[in-house]
Amino acid sequence: MAEYTNARGNEAAEDLHELSDGEEEEEDGDEEQWQWMEEESDSRSVTCLFCDRSLRSVSAALQHCSAEHRVDLADVIRKHSLDDYGYIKMINFIRSTKCSASCLTGLPDAPLPWESEDFLRPVLQDDLLLQTDPEELCASEGSCSSGTVSHDALLHRTEAAEEALARAMDDLNKIKLLTQDLILNAETGRSGGNLGAVAELREDEDEAYFSSYGHYGIHEKMLKDKVRTESYRDFMYRNPELFRDKVVLDVGCGTGILSMFAARAGAKQVIAVDQSSIIYQAMDIVRANQLEDKITLIKGRIEDIKLPVEKVDIIISEWMGYLLLFESMLDSVLYARDLYLADGGSVYPDLCNISLAAVGDAQKHQDHIAFWDDVYGFNMACMKKAVVPEAVVEVVNADSLISEPTVIQTIDCNSVCLSELEFTSDFCLKITNSTDCTAIVGYFDIFFDKGCGNKVMFSTGPQVTKTHWKQTVFLLERPVSVQAGEELKGKITVRKHKRDPRSLLVTFELRDRKLTYGLQ
């Protein structure tokens, strides 16, 4: 289950949960599968290297070689420092030459008789010994040779255990330092201190972020969001002149859908990058659609990998999070732009707006806030203080809008710089109904504009078909009374959370109140 609440919400995980209902049936299915696997492994025996005996498992074969033929394979591997290839060649050499066990003892250090690449070819079909990792074989040597653990093996294990312990102590130390840092920061309100440990924590958070994208559910949700996916498709299919013979980079390719659109639109080469394990599915998907000649898939963070080309003509990416900037993935797109985009190249989508509108919805306000005054007869009003500062991601009914929308920020992905992704903006909401303003709603619009003969756009606002981004609602604990025709003026600040830069802090200054919301 995805631990990180990413910009597409946790419904993917919920979907998975739903799918796992009816546990009993599945358990039965699992059991059957296990039985099947056991049967299968039983039916695959291992032929001894030096005689015709068939053994039930690799470890039984090793034991047999040691007891009957006086050959300890782990010793041979270690003595000649065999890597995976050396080991495979040795097995095939023994099988093809049918050499006796004694020819393995007293071999010179070099050249070994199985040096030729010919010995990479398997002699037996489905030879389980070839599927065995020589390193593992050496590590388990103590238990599979004569039944007693050798002194060397014990030493090896002790060293490994000591190393693991040292690493664990190191981790504990980092956690200790980090906790001290966090407490200190909370007390003094300053940042900084033990940056190394903070950076490591960020790495862990990033791991959670990418693993949330490893689940298929979130990709299903994005692909099924037709407003989103068809906009990307229409932009590429309706503007083939932009793509013809171009090199395209897809930052965060997921299942590879945008890369495949680009390839179909005429791109010469598409490089698709994703750090999440979903890229392994993308590899199959690209092959299933015979696009492997056009699309090169690379697993890794765009910031960590090296592209096989120096420059690209176009960067495409679907990086948008709640209120556009949540998730901070645009940072990665800008990194790719600054490093790889050729002069005259373009990033798509290119223009993005963030908008606000006033909401008057007493019922929703009641559901979220007054609710805590009486919960099954208990007063939980203290919860309001915790609930209000959390922005709510939900679909807003267009009928509850009580102002015209206003754009508070426009971002041009071809020119914006990182520091501009945190900003303060004055806004003015033209009120259309005399009522109580219970919340402010935020959303974004996306434009494929630059150089397009056929421009494409989509909105995530309450007035149009809903998307998986829904809208972001900032509830006012105390509603503000407004009059039709009035201008409700305010100021909004959007900034990254210092300790979790993928989440946002949004501050409103409205009338004489200052309200800060988290979006996590």
Evaluate whether 357 touches 462 at the Cβ level (below 8 Å).
yes
14/303 with CB nearer ligand SAH:
303
CA-based R_g, the chain, Å: 31
At 97, the amino acid letter reads: T
**Shortest separation between residue 224's beta carbon and ligand SAH, angstroms:** 10
At 409, the amino acid letter reads: Q
Please name every residue paired with 295 in a beta bridge, in sequence order, or none if there are none: 270
**Shortest separation between residue 494's beta carbon and ligand SAH, angstroms:** 20
- Cα(360)–Cα(438) distance, rounded to whole angstroms? 5
**Shortest separation between residue 300's beta carbon and ligand SAH, angstroms:** 7
**Shortest separation between residue 100's beta carbon and ligand SAH, angstroms:** 54
Residue 498 backbone phi and psi in degrees, to 5: -60, -45
- Cα(151)–Cα(5) distance, rounded to whole angstroms? 50
301/495 with CB nearer ligand SAH:
301
329/488 with CB nearer ligand SAH:
329
Q: Distances in Å between the alpha carbon of 86 and those of 351, 358, 435?
A: 56, 70, 80
- Cα(71)–Cα(91) distance, rounded to whole angstroms? 13
231/400 with CB nearer ligand SAH:
231
Q: Distances in Å between the alpha carbon of 514 and those of 107, 181, 388, 499, 517?
A: 81, 28, 13, 22, 10
Active site residues: 318, 327
Which SS3 state, helix, strand or coil, does residue 314 take? strand
Q: Which residue is nearest to ligand SAH (CB)?
A: 252
The length of the chain is: 520
Q: In degrees, to the nearest 5, what angle opens at C-alpha 131 toward C-alphas 128 and 133?
A: 125
**Shortest separation between residue 223's beta carbon and ligand SAH, angstroms:** 6
253/431 with CB nearer ligand SAH:
253
* Residues contacting residue 205 through CB under 8 Å, at least 6 positions apart: 4, 500, 502
Cα 192 off chain centre by: 27
**Shortest separation between residue 278's beta carbon and ligand SAH, angstroms:** 5
Which two structure tokens, joined as six digits, stand for 190?
């300053």
Residues that bind ligand SAH (CB under 6 A): 210, 213, 222, 252-255, 257-258, 273-276, 278, 301-303, 318, 329, 332
Please name every residue paired with 47 in a beta bridge, in sequence order, or none if there are none: 54
Q: How many CB atoms lie within 10 A of CB 295?
A: 25
144/273 with CB nearer ligand SAH:
273
318/361 with CB nearer ligand SAH:
318
Pairing of strands 423-430, 513-519: unpaired
**Shortest separation between residue 20's beta carbon and ligand SAH, angstroms:** 23
Write out the E strands in 83-211: none
